[in-house]
Chains A and B, each alone.
Chain A
């Protein structure tokens, strides 16, 4: 796939998501918002988990932190968009500090360290009642207007964030940073020996991957109007985002977007049709996909698959 094809596919997808209010009901608009939101999270994760090969499980930590920074800023009277920017900056700074500490760990150790951040922040948020409202959660000032206006506002916001993260991904992928990150992913010691400042590169990648989770979190808080610790620092989210990315193809530019789309649509279909077993089925599908498609959907050579199918079909025809 040439870069131009990739960008065209992405542009088409953006148009499909952004135009849902024109051709579909509120259910689909809501789904488009969620897809755009998760795409932004997955693209973010891809920078550290895909390009750099560090299996971070801290997405929900930065998302939740963004929720609270955004919500508290808005409650203090800061305008909505500025509150989102504040959340982005705050999360970026925290991620840089935290990254400098835990990026010394590798592999599974790093994964466990990064998931620790989610739990610690959830506990701090639950316990620090005077600031965060604790388990009662926080109300966020609602956007004025009818349900359609609100939906369209947040659709525009989430799609914009998704596009920004995509552009960042493309720039990283084509530049010096992306090349260095790929070297680290392939062989960190060798990367160090050819002159890549591995610590700095990893911290930059981790910070980039965290900051937009903060933006998404703040936007989510404004959208739903209410946040609480278990909803925002959710272990399920921290696992789901890497799974979506792996499904599409970690380390590719388009993979996170494809993976998120396929996963969310699959989840929605299963949810609607198998109310009791949808989680189990989704789990089984996920395990099978990762076992048999370790490189993700984008790494399949569709030409080979079609050729094999055609050959099998011909053999069947000849036998009959």
Chain B
């Protein structure tokens, strides 16, 4: 029980008659990398929004680090060590890259002063490889740079759990490889990571466990190899052809 960092119990979210998330239950263990996959509109981002308090759950309870956080607000989630990156990056555009990260350190990471927050921000920028851009406005970064900035900002909040919402969407192959290395390095620090993705390559190589969401319901929870064999998952998401290819890759 104690090694569970996040636990969802029958969590639902309705928008009027639309059940975006229905009765989802799962738990994340400390230090795990878990992938959350599902076709477009499956409710992945809604689920993350509910966990971080952006939207309130219609039913069910969420526990984080031994605390009932079902009714928390986003800023409380941030201070408790529940960080997330956005599918559509959300920088403070007119601030410098350094100030963006310092904001995370000061408010989410509970640094005592702006000077300390700035110092902490520098080390995080170095870690994600953006140190050279520290004094440029965030709006001057490329998409891949902005995603790195999001990562640095989240790390500055000293997260226990990091939720990466499509952190690789829109990146090219070499940029994705760079991002994967970075995510592994973050996991090595003991941060639990939930990767929300639809790029199979990313989740298959990163995650120790996969959760599959379809029409707001959790239809599978298991190790990646089993997941691609699961007929319901193949039906819902992968399509028979891709599942076959993955299987051939693994056996051959």
Contacts and interface: CB of A to CB of B under 8 A. Distances in A.
Nearest to A251: B94
Contacts of B95: 182-183, 186
A187 B92 CA distance: 6
A197 interface: yes
Interface in B91-107: 91-95, 99, 102-104, 106-107
A192 B92 contact: no
Interface stretch (B14-22, B72-80, B208-216): B72-80
B168 interface: no
B104 A194 contact: yes
B47 to A, nearest CB: 16
A189 B94 CA distance: 15
Interface string B16-35: 00000000000000000000
Contacts, number: 69
A195 B79 CA distance: 6
Given A195-B75, A195-B157, A197-B75, A187 B103 contact: no
B148 interface: no
B90 interface: yes
A17 B102 CA distance: 39
> Could you say which of B75, B102, B104, B153 has the most chain A C-beta atoms within 10 Å of its C-beta?
B75
Contact of B103 (A174, A194, A197, A198): A194
B52 interface: yes
A176 B106 contact: yes
A68 B54 CA distance: 42
Contacts of A179: 99, 102-103, 106, 114
A317 B184 CA distance: 64
A193 B106 contact: no
Contact of A190 (B73, B90, B102): B90
Interface string A177-213: 0011011001101111111111000000000000000
Contacts of B91: 187, 190
A100 to B, nearest CB: 15
Contacts of B93: 186-187
Interface in A275-295: none
Contacts of B108: 194-195
Interface in A98-146: none
A54 B93 CA distance: 17
B84 interface: yes
A175 B117 CA distance: 12
Contacts of B54: 189, 192-193
Nearest to B104: A194
Contacts of B99: 179
A180 B107 contact: yes
A191 B99 CA distance: 12
Interface of A: 174-176, 179-180, 182-183, 186-187, 189-198
Given A186-B94, A195-B79, 14 more contacts: A174-B114, A175-B114, A176-B106, A176-B114, A179-B99, A183-B103, A187-B93, A190-B92, A192-B73, A192-B74, A193-B84, A194-B107, A194-B153, A196-B107
